[in-house]
Amino acid sequence: MQLAALSAVLFLLASGASAQDNQGFGQKLGAPEVAPPPAANTSMSVLLSQGYEIKAAVPNGNKFVVFMQKDQSAYACEMQSLTASRCGTLN
C-alpha cells in the first residue's frame, strides 16, 4: 500500500518536471499571465473550483490521501470526512 502512495507521488513529480519546457528563462513572450497558485494550505473544494484535477487517491488507514494537479502545481489532500479535507502543496 505504501508502494502505491510512493509511486503516485513519483508520477506526479515526474509529470511536473517534464511539463517545464522553458528551461527557467521565465514566461514566454505572448503567453497569458499565470495566476498565482492557491495558498499552501487549502481544501479540496477550493482546488477543484480553481481547475485542479484529481490524479490519484490512496487509502491511508480510515482516511484517503488524494493527489491533485494543475499545470506544474501539485497538492496532496487528506480526506478527513466527506465534507472536510486539508491540502498541502507538493512543489
Give a yes or no: residue 85 inside a domain.
yes
Give a yes or no: residue 27 inside a domain.
no
Number of folded domains that form the chain: 1
Is residue 86's pLDDT more than 60?
yes
41-61: average pLDDT: 90
Q: Give me the pLDDT at residue 51, please.
A: 94
Give a yes or no: residue 24 inside a domain.
no
More reliable by pLDDT, 77 or 24: 77
Give a yes or no: residue 33 inside a domain.
no
Contact 72, 16 (CB under 8 A): yes
- Return the sign of the alpha-carbon dihedral for residues 18, 22, 25, 28: negative
Give a yes or no: residue 76 inside a domain.
yes
Give a yes or no: residue 46 inside a domain.
yes
Is residue 22's pLDDT more than 50?
no
For residue 63, which phi and psi values (nearest 5 degrees)?
-120, 170
**Which residue has cell 477543484?**
48
Mean pLDDT of the chain: 74
pTM over 0.85: no
